[in-house]
Structure 1
Amino acid sequence: MSAGFLDRLIARRREAVLRPARPEDAEALAALHGASFRLGWDGAEFERLLANRLTRTLIATNGVGGTPVGFILLSGVAPEIEILSVAVAGARRGEGIGRRLIETAFGQLAAEGYASVFLEVEEGNVAALRLYARMGFHEIGRRAGYYRSESGAPLAAKVMRRDIA
């Protein structure tokens, strides 16, 4: 095998393919969420969220038909929607998967009549804050004690907003 063929094969396997989430993705999404956040949601919670008609969930997989490596979960009624969670597998962070998930979701949402997106993010989550700032989000508020640290100490959330229409 030539090096070029192997490089193409590896690249194809690592290519993140985006698609809507399906009910059978609930456990994989729970695993991703649990690996990304201190208080992860379980499979039953994801099953409930995926069944909710107000929820939109887009996932990234390792190639076509591959395992999920990221997702964005949103919920709302037009013209406003809230990002409930964005997660990317640790080994795939820094590849632009989170950005692609957000951009793709926003394109679909704008076509459905959504005009603005809100989110809460823990104010110490530097990577997420940097991503959201690059994506055009602006801080519109702060919620003291919205999150809890591992020791139980209160942590503030920044409330952010971005127009998509």
Structure 2
Amino acid sequence: MRWWHLGGIAVLERQVFTLDPWSAELFWSELAQGDSRNYLIAMSAGSIVGYAGLALQGDESYIQTIGVVPAMRGRHVGCRLMIAQLREARRRGARSCGLEVRTDNRPARALYARLGFVDLGVRRGYYQPSGGDAYVMRARPIDTVGYGSMLDQTEAAIDRDARAAS
């Protein structure tokens, strides 16, 4: 993701997260963090259809945000973005990856569980201004050969599904 994507991302953010969208200023602030952040976009037919942000500090990483436009949900866009971010975290030496997810977001929770994330607890009133609760989830150790193999297998399964659908 680059600064010239931010106008479109801010519009998409309101479609993806109707209750608690990030502001364009927050995305600007994230990009200004430099090498401690990694932001990706997913494109389809020349349009941004998804995005994901990763923060890195020492041997820890953190999914800052991930969003997929409603029309593209269920097409593995989010999974591909997560796998790409987890691979980047591994490449940069992270041993764990954390995130928060709304307690009512079952599809996202299922994706994260598929990628080895487990619940650590609940943060009451985490999302603002709605006051929605969040599960705190973490995957570790992500730096092992076994975890890398699991990411490869998950991506291969997505590729097989895509070939079968076409």
Q: Same fold (TM over 0.5)?
A: yes
1:119 to 73, 78, 99: 99
Separation in 2, partners of 1:157, 1:144: 7
Query: Which consecutive segments of 4 or more residues in structure 1 shift more than 3 A?
Result: none
2:33 counterpart of 1:33: no
Aligned length: 140
Taking the TM superposition and a 5 Å limit, the aligned residue runs for 1:129-144 are 129-144=109-124
Q: For residue 148 of structure 1, report the CA deviation from its aligned partner.
A: 5.2
Aligned partners of 2:56 and 2:89 also within 8 Å: no
2:18 counterpart of 1:60: no
> Secondary structure at 1:159's aligned position in 2?
strand
| TM-score normalised by the chain length of structure 1 | 0.78
Structure 1: 5+ residue stretches without partners = 1-20
Q: For residue 30 of structure 1, report the CA deviation from its aligned partner.
A: 1.4
Structure 2: 5+ residue stretches without partners = 144-166
Q: For residue 76 of structure 1, report the CA deviation from its aligned partner.
A: 2.8
> Secondary structure at 1:136's aligned position in 2?
coil
Q: Which structure: greater strand fraction?
A: 1
| TM-score normalised by the chain length of structure 2 | 0.78
**What is the CA RMSD across the aligned residues, in angstroms?**
1.6
Task: Please give the per-residue CA displacement for 1:49-105, whole angstroms capped at 9, x wherever unaligned.
Answer: 112122210110115xx2211011121302111111110011111000100001111
Taking the TM superposition and a 5 Å limit, the aligned residue runs for 1:1-165 are 21-37=1-17, 38-53=19-34, 54-63=36-45, 66-147=46-127, 150=130, 154-163=131-140, 164-165=142-143
Q: Which structure: greater helix fraction?
A: 2
Separation in 2, partners of 1:131, 1:123: 14
The structure with the largest alpha-carbon Rg is 1
- Matched to 2:37, the amino acid is T
> Secondary structure at 1:102's aligned position in 2?
helix
Percent identity, aligned pairs only?
34
- Matched to 2:124, the amino acid is A
